[in-house]
Every structure is written in structure tokens, then in C-alpha cells.
Amino acid sequence: MYRKRMARSLFTCVLSIVGIIIIFSIAFYRPINKVSNKREATAVVTDKVVKNSSDQGRYLIFTEDEDGNINTYEITDSLLAGRFDSSDLYASIKVGGKYRFEIGGSRNQVLSWYPNIYSCELIETTHLGQQEGKE
């Protein structure tokens, strides 16, 4: 009887530790993922929105590159990258502009994670941007 109770307690303890490790891994994976795999991407901004859910909003930027690939990026502050100006960066991006973005992270459709934009440089204003400015 005592051995069964001891084995059950040990199993519960191990299961709890594994659960805690999984929860912490998920919690720390996202911030680390956002600053990993930094690279450049050049694309035309086709739209931008603020996606509100619960008590937080996310800045999303929709783009199309020269090969016709559609990509969605987000702009969020990052403690690990030392960047806290996401609102200013979002405001500086204009629909129709062709930009060179510095991005990091990867896309995860299941968790609705997008690569994060860290900086951008306007390369040119496309026809779409000129039309938008005239309206």
C-alpha cells in the first residue's frame, strides 16, 4: 500500500515538473523566436491594421514581394532586442511604399505568430501609394 502511494506521488511530481517545463518553454520561446533568425526582406506594403483581441492590440503589416508572395509581419516591442518604439515604427510605414525591412522570427499559423519587424527603410513610393495620397 505504501509503495503504491509513493509511486503515485513520484509520478505526480514528475508529471508536474514536466508540465512546468513545458509551460515555461512556451512562454520563453516566443520572445526568443522574435529576435532569432534576423534577416532582410524587401516588399510593398499592401495594407496595415491594428488587430485588437482582449486587452491588447497588435500592429500587422501586409506585404507583397517582387515574386508575388504575400507575407504578414507584426510590429511589437521586444525586451530581448531592446526595442520599445513599435507604435512609432507602425506610424512611419505607409501603404503603397516599397520598404526594406529587418525582420526576425518565424511564422506559426497555429499560434498566430508572425515575424517581427525591427526596422524599415523606404525604398520608393509605388503607384498604389501615389493614388492613396491623392484621395
What DSSP designation does 84 have? -
Residue 108, strand partner residues: 113
Does the pLDDT of residue 128 top 60, yes or no? Answer: no
Has residue 13 been placed in a domain? Answer: no
Instruction: Calculate the alpha carbon distances from 94 to 14, 30, 39, 124 in Å.
Output: 52, 27, 21, 11
The answer to the question of residue 21 being in a domain is no
- Give a yes or no: residue 62 inside a domain: yes
Number of domain units in the chain: 1
The pLDDT tens digits for 11-43 are 898 999 999 998 888 778 878 888 888 999 999
Q: Which domain holds residue 128?
A: 32-134
Give me the CATH number covering residue 123: 2.40.50.840
Residue 88 in domain: yes
Residue 23: inside a domain: no
Pick from 109, 105, 118: which is nearest to 29 by CA?
105
Q: Which residue has the higher pLDDT, 24 or 49?
A: 49
Rounded to whole angstroms, the Cα distance separating 27 from 98 reads: 34
Residue 19 located in a structural domain? no
For residue 115, the 8-state DSSP code is P
- Cell matching residue 127: 503607384
In a domain, 1, yes or no: no
**Mean pLDDT, residues 91-96:** 95
